[in-house]
Chains A and B, each alone.
Chain A
Amino acid sequence: MMHSQIPKSDEYQTRRRWLTGAVGTVAALGAAPLVGAAPVQPRKQLLLLFLSGGASQFETWDPKPGAKTGGPFRAIPTSIPGERIGELLPHTAKALHRLTVVRSVVSNIADHFQGHYALQSGRIAPGYPVLGSAVAKLLERPDDVLPGYVSIRRNGPKAYTDVGDAGFLGAKYDGVKVYDNLPPQNLVRPAGITTPLAESVERLRRAADARFRQRHDGRPIESYEATYQQAAALMKHREIFDLAGESSAMHDRYGRHEFGQHCLQARRLLEAGVTCVKVTHFDWDAHQDNFYWHQVRCAEFDRTFVTLLDDLEQRGLLEHTLVVVTGEMGRTPQINNLGGRDHWGRAWSMAMAGAGVKPGVIHGATNDLGTEVTEDPVTHGDLFHTYLRALGIDSRMDYTIGDQTNPVADPAAKPIEALLA
């Protein structure tokens, strides 16, 4: 139960276009409608591009060429007169007027695990839902078919990538994890299992659940059941995962590397109606050879990111989709002995685009060496409030679950009004 109304005025303005797009999408996918047949309001959506490991603000959004901390790369002009970003992002530079950049993030967290949690939940204290889970809950509709939150990542060894979940919202909002763009596994009945046998197993499972509920709190079972149903719902629409249906040119535009293909998958999931999609871009943790790694990672990110914005815009999705680009921290101004930059949470950058935020805004600033924020410091809690507000959610409201209430966002933080459209 929510105690606050979600603003609707802007949503009605885009309703017709959204519905047109949704019908087109469904037709293109050759799938059954993914939402109920009743008229629906166009829903805000969220795309989180998480630069896991922590991208360097110096090589991306807040370059300091010529400074002792600046590194070897230049700053280049952008589509915002007088503003420059790192030369490793030439495509993004041309699209900067479409973005909202924050150069003054002060999270003071220099640890992967804590940073992953805090930058997604807006909190330090454990147990709160991460952004994807929170938004999936807050924008949930009773006739939803697909899961509210899908996280796309490499099936790799980075443990901290999986930090954070739905917290007290329960497993239903944990989200479905998609590894390497493959649909959820082990949901297809093996060839040797007959329909009668499968039905028997299902009856047995339900009976066991019912018996458990008689003696225990049934909420865990309901949560797991919900998760199973979400994965099964995705499986009923396996065509979402069939990227072969995309043209070769589209694959090229997104890039045929892992991040490009994951972003292409993300667009398909958003298009199909998933509320929140997270794509993890790996290997930004450049403790050594920072400048080599950032050339590689930025080259992947740069073109794919702008392609994604273009594609979302052309399909009518960007106006109701908030795109967030962040990692769990920034990187040190000092360059270490191995040519790397280490963990840094005192002054770093992130970016947004799309629904609910002002385009062409560069917020905050750092000093000449990039060691400290000098204007408009922003915390991870402030960012979390801002994301929610941009999605049309009152970030001051509470969750009420059972007899407990919890603030949706940290009451000690606040939305960054200057960034909100």
Chain B
Amino acid sequence: MATPPDQSKPTREYQVATPLLSCAFDAGGRFLFAGGRDRGLVIVDTSSGTQSVIPGHDSWIGSIVRAGDGLVLTSDYQGRVIAWDCRNGAPQPRWTLEAHPCTIYALSVNLGSGTFASADRDGLVRVWRTADGSPLGELPRLEFPAYGVALLPDGKHLVTADRQPQKPRLQVHDLASGKVLLSVDVTELSGYRRVEDIEWGGIRGLTVSPDGSQIVACGRNGYDGPACALLYETGTGRMRQKLASDLKGGFYYGARFHPNGLLLTVGGDLGKGELRFWNADGAESKGVITLPGPATAFDIHPDGKRFAVTSNVGKGSYPDSGLITLHESPV
């Protein structure tokens, strides 16, 4: 570890007028894409340090992922996906796809197979060819909204996180047959309160390990928290570890495995956020970077030496603006 995580300082900060929900670097690492509660897509040119906003979406931008072939995919609450080509200077749209009739909650890319998956509010999960956005198929509709989706590295399986009340659910699907091979109720991340009859929790982030053997479900442990991530074995559905934040309340919104084996989680509540480093099996916190507001997303630069975090700032319980921080990786 080059620098203890809690001593890492941001190398650059960018203010954004609206709260942010997602971010990703392009494959070359020059551009950082960020989006959130606005139609404009924020582009940070890390080589020049400039920030710009480009049009293309008609609604909030909820998910951004780095894809192969020099593309970054962005999706919005109207069901649109845009593939941005970054190989020739400034990002340009290569194709635009009206992929779903409603809000897309999540995207996932499989670099090996050249495919990506999209998941929507109606529980529809579709798989596409990344190069041209052509459809490859869709799963039988889930019974509940699909909050998360992750293609496994083998190119044959896909994991979904749905919004089943009181029992948010992870499911492993066989892409060829569409069958559900494994279903796990993640009751630890439910925040249901009978007095209001409202489910306050749910799976807010989903990722799989580089070898596909582990699934990480992010959210909050119960109604009162803390922010929490749960590690499951993909093959058996057995929960291996619970990673709980020191922060009271708030959610973990995302997790990512670092190339060196550490697991990183981001989350928080308004006025307090964090990016935390865990050892590979999640048993031990190795350090934390605190942030001024809830960290909603992050991405590790392709060189593995930097990362970017989006967080939100505001008063009371209302985020009013976003903040992008670029860090030199302490790991």
A residues neighboring B (CB under 8 Å): 66, 68, 71-74, 156-158, 282-283, 285, 287-289, 291-292, 295, 332, 334-338, 342
Contacts and interface: CB of A to CB of B under 8 A. Distances in A.
Interface of B: 17-19, 37, 39, 58-60, 76-78, 102-103, 121, 145, 163, 194-198, 200, 202, 269-270, 294, 312, 314, 317-320
Nearest to B60: A72
Given A72-B78, A335-B318, A337-B294, A291 B200 contact: no
Contacts of A336: 317-319
A158 B294 CA distance: 31
A23 B2 CA distance: 87
Nearest to B17: A68
Given A73-B59, A289-B202, A332-B318, 6 more contacts: A72-B59, A73-B77, A283-B197, A287-B200, A334-B320, A338-B317
Contacts of B200: 287-288, 338
A156 B37 CA distance: 34
Contact of B198 (A66, A287, A295): A287
Contact of B121 (A157, A282, A292, A337): A292
A283 B60 CA distance: 24
A283 B165 CA distance: 13
A282 B37 CA distance: 27
Contacts of A288: 198, 200
Given A72-B37, A295-B102, A337 B312 contact: yes
B145 A292 contact: yes
A74 B78 contact: yes
Contacts of A334: 318, 320
Nearest to A288: B200
Contacts, number: 63
A74 B80 CA distance: 13
Contact of A291 (B77, B196, B198, B314): B77
A157 B77 CA distance: 32
Contacts of B37: 68, 72, 335
Contacts of A74: 58-59, 78
A295 B121 contact: yes
Given A288-B200, A335-B318, A72 B76 contact: yes
B197 A66 contact: no
Interface of B is mostly: loop
A156 B318 CA distance: 30
Contacts of A157: 194-195, 197
Interface of A is mostly: loop
Contacts of A342: 317
A295 B103 contact: yes
A292 B103 contact: yes
Contacts of A332: 318
A9 B269 CA distance: 61
B294 A72 contact: no
> 5 nearest interchain CB pairs?
A72-B77, A72-B60, A334-B318, A72-B59, A336-B317
Contacts of B78: 72-74
A66 B58 CA distance: 9
B317 A337 contact: yes
Contacts of B163: 292
A58 to B, nearest CB: 13
B63 to A, nearest CB: 13
Given A291-B103, A337-B318, A66 B39 contact: yes
A337 B194 contact: no
Given A72-B77, A72-B103, A291-B103, A285 B198 contact: yes
Contacts of B102: 295
Nearest to A287: B198
Given A74-B59, A287-B198, A337 B270 contact: yes
B292 to A, nearest CB: 13
A336 to B, nearest CB: 5
Nearest to A282: B197
A295 B314 CA distance: 26
A337 B295 CA distance: 11
A64 to B, nearest CB: 13
Interface centre among B76, B317, B319 (most CB of A within 10 A): B317
A342 B200 CA distance: 14
Interface centre among A68, A72, A283 (most CB of B within 10 A): A72
Contacts of B269: 337
A140 B270 CA distance: 54
Nearest to B191: A288
B74 to A, nearest CB: 14
A289 B60 CA distance: 14
A339 B200 CA distance: 11
A220 to B, nearest CB: 32
A283 B58 CA distance: 28
A409 B112 CA distance: 71
A334 B197 CA distance: 23
Contacts of B195: 157
B141 to A, nearest CB: 15
Nearest to B314: A337
Contacts of B202: 289
Contact of A158 (B19, B58, B121, B197): B197
Contacts of B194: 157
A336 B319 CA distance: 6
Nearest to A283: B197
Contacts of A291: 77, 103
B18 to A, nearest CB: 6
